[in-house]
């Protein structure tokens, strides 16, 4: 429990309010229903940023995804941006971006429901 502040203990409602705010901030975010928002949640929850965003040393293991929707359109001739992103999730070794290693998890696509896969692709396509 909190100790005295300025020689006085805070009133119980203040303590309760502070505890409620802490609990609310720690509660998991409910699943989004809109595909791009749900895809953003999946991107964060699955730890995609761990490899696709720079670490403390400015390095990344996988290619940047901040413009995935634009770059994916030209990554592989004959594939649309959506097809390329979907293939990259379901079969990560099918095409490895030059300068990066084939280190994407192989079971990634198996762990996603069709709806979640669509949402993740929609989110990546929104990154222009």
Does 99 fall in a domain? yes
Q: What is the CATH number of the domain that holds 69?
A: 1.10.760.10
Does 119 fall in a domain? yes
Which residue range forms the structural domain that includes residue 93? 31-126
Does 109 fall in a domain? yes
Pair 116, 72: CB distance under 8 Å: no
Domain count, the chain: 1
pLDDT for position 25: 60
Does 87 fall in a domain? yes
Give the Å distances, CA to CA, from 40 to 18, 113, 115: 29, 15, 13
Does 77 fall in a domain? yes
Give the pLDDT confidence of 32-70 residue by residue, as tens digits. Answer: 889 999 999 999 999 999 999 988 888 889 999 999 999
Residue 3 predicted with pLDDT over 80? no
Does 9 fall in a domain? no
pLDDT for position 18: 64
């Amino acid at each position: 429990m909190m100790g005295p502040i300025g020689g006085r203990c805070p009133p119980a409602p203040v303590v309760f309010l502070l505890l409620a705010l802490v609990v609310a901030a720690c509660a998991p975010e409910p699943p989004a229903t809109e595909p791009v928002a749900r895809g953003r949640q999946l991107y964060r929850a699955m730890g995609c940023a761990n490899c696709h965003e720079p670490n403390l040393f400015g390095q990344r293991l996988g290619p940047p995804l901040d413009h995935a929707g634009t770059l994916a359109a030209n990554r592989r001739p004959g594939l649309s941006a959506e097809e390329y992103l979907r293939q990259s999730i379901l079969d990560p070794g099918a095409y490895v971006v030059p300068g990066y290693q084939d280190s994407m998890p192989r079971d990634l696509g198996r762990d996603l429901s069709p709806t979640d896969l669509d949402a993740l692709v929609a989110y990546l396509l929104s990154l222009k």
